[in-house]
Structure 1
């Protein structure tokens, strides 16, 4: 995988400007993030993780959250800083970033969660996992909420509230990308017509399909999720060109 994939991804998203990079149907209303806005969220999160939490390459990050585009943003930012990321589904089951979410562990199976992780991001700040973390980020998997609405433990970070204060421009020299490598296009994959950006329908938030998600985003396209909530009519309106 390219050591500057993180920089390449951010540059591609910013170049796509107002073109939709993410359409989220997981809540009452459709939420759209343009390439510029998605890059902005990731850049601000990189700044927050680096400046406030002193996250370093090799540090362990656990995302104990239900599927949501905010979880995807956190994963991309942590991988951009070289962290070792474990994605959980909010119920303690591990999500593989290399394949479809059907590859999750069976219900009740123990997840391979690092002991005393460096950072935990969660909507369950009172959980044993959260309390074992060196640094705790608390957030709700709700798109437009300005801050965490529940009780915030002492020394915990209200991620949504704090991340907004960070600069829109990347102020960190990024290390090697530590996440999955992007999927390579094959002759078996249906490619959109020339000049048409790829639009991928993905399960959940895409964290379980990262190679395919990265391929599409690096090609200047976008993702539509979660697939279980998107009707055929909506997929057609979104100009979906493929499914993960």
Structure 2
């Protein structure tokens, strides 16, 4: 996977193993140890790549306290936390959790919102989080159709409406979910009609996250008004 990433132009990766999702509990000390071991192996074969520690933390009632206690890893031990929500619906209480994290100086990033069923049905459902300062991170494969039509359509909507801020690989293997980023960046550039803006999503903004620097994204674009059909005029709707 590291070789594939380097060949695709990637020079830094934050490792984000699942954490507290009912199946995995990625202890910070273990993640840091394994990241250090991998970086040592990467150095031995001369790859121009650095791995940084992190996790993808599943939402839970006491997540803010867990981060504060050092039991849940932030990205590169900085001020950003990658949040994972259930795949079907936006859960109740997520806005309060975001507020609790922000009050502790932790800035949430929401992982793959385009793969959440309720967001696919209504992309505007994440607007309160966007306005609250939550960064939205898309999966690269979503933009290229790897997660199906619904995820791709939602990802394209979030990109064109500037409701997405980061594109990440969310890589899981060297065969099917690889750490390639270039095709997704090209897809974003076409949607945005701006290669520089697309590059910011895979380079500039992630670099700011890596360094723990604040990022104030531009406001999202309003949804275009829906066209009224012939029948809506006929029935006065």
Is the structural similarity TM-score above 0.5?
no
With the length of structure 1 as denominator, give the TM-score of the two structures. Answer: 0.25
Greater share of helix = 2
Tell which has more relative contact order, 1 or 2 (C-alpha 8 A, sep 6+).
Answer: 1
TM-score (norm 2): 0.25
Comparing both structures, which one devotes a greater share of its residues to strand? 1
